[in-house]
Amino acid sequence: METKPGKPTNCSLWVWSNSGLSSFKEAPSKAGSSLQPLIDFALQHVPEAKRATTPMTLRATAGLRLLGDEVQNAILNSVRSFLRSTPFTPPSDDDVAILSGADEAVTAWVSANYLLDNFGPTKPSVGILDLGGASTQVATLSAATVPAEALRAVEVGGRPFDLYAYSHLGYGLHEARRHADRIAATEGGASLHPCFAKDADVATDVRMKDGTLERVVFKGEGSAARCAALASKLLKEGGSEISFAAVPAPKSEGDFLAFSYYFDVLEPLRVESPFSPATVAAHRDAICGESAADIAARGISPDFASRACFDLSYIYAILKEGVGSDDGAKRFHLVRKINGKEMSWSLGLMLLNFRGGGGAKPPTTHMGGGVSLSHGYGAVVVAAVVVAALYARHAMRRYSSGMVVKAR
């Protein structure tokens, strides 16, 4: 397991671990100990005298949401047991839980606008697009009518915000790839796949509609038009019970920050911000027509090279159809960090759920600062090992400036 420490800034630290808790679905009892590298990182930064009064919170995201209740509970219980064996404040059952998709979208929106200092009386906010492995989140302000199931209200610094905030479970990049493979396997003649390079033979396991797993060898077609049509079909029909078409994002004129897999797919192609859906389409058309060797020669990592045509087609479909942006509207910005701090929903969770020196509270107040420990994009994030006592008071002065964030 690889961990990558971030640069300490204003009592906010970040570390990333590649494997997620959902990967332990076949061996749930081993899930808790997989957090050891993250705890080791926290131990390096929390003084020994403060550890017993430093509370921990873990929130799992879409990777665990996709698992059955029995497996979810087994994994979470393993994590609770492990965290209670550390020198930090033993977490309650509620401190180790699954974050709802809507809350994931809201907390990411709070994080982004907080880091951009957009909560002043006249500053416009930005929307967020978060593409994980198992789900994708959209959150934005809109003057248009928002579907009731996607309406979320928050209050920041005394200002009320009514958000469109929704998480589409089953529409993360990894899940979308799986569903695209299933559609191609059932509809493609001779197992043709429009999104693989035309000279490529790609063997992969495909989960069919009846639940069976079949090994399929696809012959790549390398068709930008057909791959784009496949991605559009997937958005409308989806791999989830609720498609993008069922809960459309309202028309919004503001800018969006795009992170997680948006960044990982587009940044290696040197996409400059701000960019438009047309920018993504141009890269899609170029890459879908290239051979597998040419795509690899671009320096794209093997994890993305074979899927580059589909990934770009899918991102274009989300921007164009899921968000409803005009082709030429340059309103999207790739981010991994904002002002030196990692862009993640975990900061927003701390702002919404913690109060300086006091640990976990109902979602009415906040504290700033802490140690964010990330455990995979779409699987689980140890969202906040919050630094208590003196660290908390220091963070309140230097980081949060006394701003109150409320979920209304």
Question: Which of 6-10, 163-167, 186-190, 298-302 has the weakest average pLDDT?
Answer: 6-10
Could you tell me which residue, 161 or 282, shows the higher pLDDT?
Answer: 282
Q: Looking at residue 27, which CATH number applies to its domain? A: 3.30.420
Could you tell me if residue 166 is inside a domain?
A: no
Q: Specify whether 323 is located in the same domain as 344.
A: no
Per-residue pLDDT band at 404 (split at 50, 70, 90): very low
Per-residue pLDDT band at 300 (split at 50, 70, 90): confident
Residue ending a domain, choose from 315, 333, 351 = 333
Q: Is the pLDDT of residue 47 over 70?
A: yes
Per-residue pLDDT band at 242 (split at 50, 70, 90): low
Residue 58 β-bridge partners: 96
Q: DSSP string spanning 61-130?
A: -HHHHTS-HHHHHHHHHHHHHHHTTSSSPPPPGGGEEEPPHHHHHHHHHHHHHHHTT--SSSPPP-EEEE
Q: Is the pLDDT of residue 56 over 70?
A: yes
Q: How many CB atoms lie within 10 A of CB 360?
A: 18
Q: Specify whether 324 is located in the same domain as 186.
A: yes
The C-alpha atoms of residue 394 and residue 346 are separated, in whole angstroms, by 19
Residue ending a domain, choose from 306, 333, 360 = 333
Q: Is the pLDDT of residue 231 over 90?
A: yes
Per-residue pLDDT band at 402 (split at 50, 70, 90): very low
> Tens of pLDDT along 309-363?
999 999 999 999 888 888 888 899 999 999 888 888 888 888 876 533 333 233 3
Percent of the chain, pLDDT > 70? 79
Q: Specify whether 326 is located in the same domain as 381.
A: no
Q: For strand 56-60 and strand 380-385, is the pairing parallel, antiparallel, or unpaired?
A: antiparallel
Residue-number span of the structural domain to which 94 is assigned: 3-100+339-407
Q: Is the pLDDT of residue 384 over 50?
A: no
Q: Is the pLDDT of residue 374 over 80?
A: no
Phi-psi region of 17 (alpha: psi -120 to 50; beta: other; left: phi over 0): beta
- pLDDT for the residue numbered 267: 93
Q: Looking at residue 207, which CATH number applies to its domain? A: 3.30.420.150
Could you tell me if residue 123 is inside a domain?
A: no
Q: Specify whether 376 is located in the same domain as 309.
A: no
> Tens of pLDDT along 281-291?
999 999 999 98
Could you tell me if residue 260 is inside a domain?
A: yes
Per-residue pLDDT band at 240 (split at 50, 70, 90): low
Could you tell me which residue, 386 or 191, shows the higher pLDDT?
Answer: 191
Could you tell me which residue, 326 or 398, shows the higher pLDDT?
Answer: 326
Could you tell me which residue, 167 or 4, shows the higher pLDDT?
Answer: 167
3-class DSSP assignment, residue 370: strand
Q: Is the pLDDT of residue 109 over 90?
A: yes
Question: Which of 57-66, 147-156, 237-246 has the weakest average pLDDT?
Answer: 237-246
Averaged over 271-289, what is the pLDDT? 95
Could you tell me if residue 219 is inside a domain?
A: yes
- pLDDT for the residue numbered 10: 45
Residue ending a domain, choose from 300, 333, 366 = 333
Q: Specify whether 295 is located in the same domain as 375.
A: no
Q: Specify whether 345 is located in the same domain as 250.
A: no
Q: Specify whether 324 is located in the same domain as 346.
A: no
> Tens of pLDDT along 180-197?
999 998 876 668 899 998
Q: Is the pLDDT of residue 387 over 60?
A: no
- pLDDT for the residue numbered 12: 54
Q: Locate tokens 């063997």: which residue?
A: 203
Q: Which of 85-99, 352-366, 374-388 has the highest mean pLDDT?
A: 85-99
Q: Specify whether 269 is located in the same domain as 401.
A: no
Our count of domains for the chain comes to 2
Q: Which residues, in sequence order, are CB contacts of 322 under 8 Å at separation 6+? A: 138, 168, 235, 244, 248, 249
Range 264-275 burial, b when 16+ CB lie within 10 A, else e = bbbeebebebeb
Question: Which of 176-185, 214-223, 273-282, 389-398 has the weakest average pLDDT?
Answer: 389-398
3-class DSSP assignment, residue 292: helix
Q: Is the pLDDT of residue 49 over 60?
A: yes
Q: For strand 135-141 and strand 127-131, is the pairing parallel, antiparallel, or unpaired?
A: antiparallel
Averaged over 201-213, what is the pLDDT? 86
Q: Specify whether 274 is located in the same domain as 228.
A: yes
Averaged over 58-62, what is the pLDDT? 84
3-class DSSP assignment, residue 308: helix
Q: Specify whether 374 is located in the same domain as 241.
A: no
- Half-sphere exposure in the Cβ direction for 313 (13 Å, CA): 29
Q: Is the pLDDT of residue 293 over 50?
A: yes
- pLDDT for the residue numbered 189: 61
Q: Which of 57-61, 73-77, 189-193 has the highest mean pLDDT?
A: 73-77
Percent of the chain, pLDDT > 90? 34
Per the CB < 8 A criterion, the answer to whether 280 and 261 are in contact is no
Per the CB < 8 A criterion, the answer to whether 162 and 153 are in contact is yes
Q: Is the pLDDT of residue 30 over 80?
A: yes
The C-alpha atoms of residue 105 and residue 102 are separated, in whole angstroms, by 5
Question: Which of 15-29, 151-165, 171-185, 331-345 has the weakest average pLDDT?
Answer: 15-29
- pLDDT for the residue numbered 366: 28
Could you tell me if residue 252 is inside a domain?
A: yes
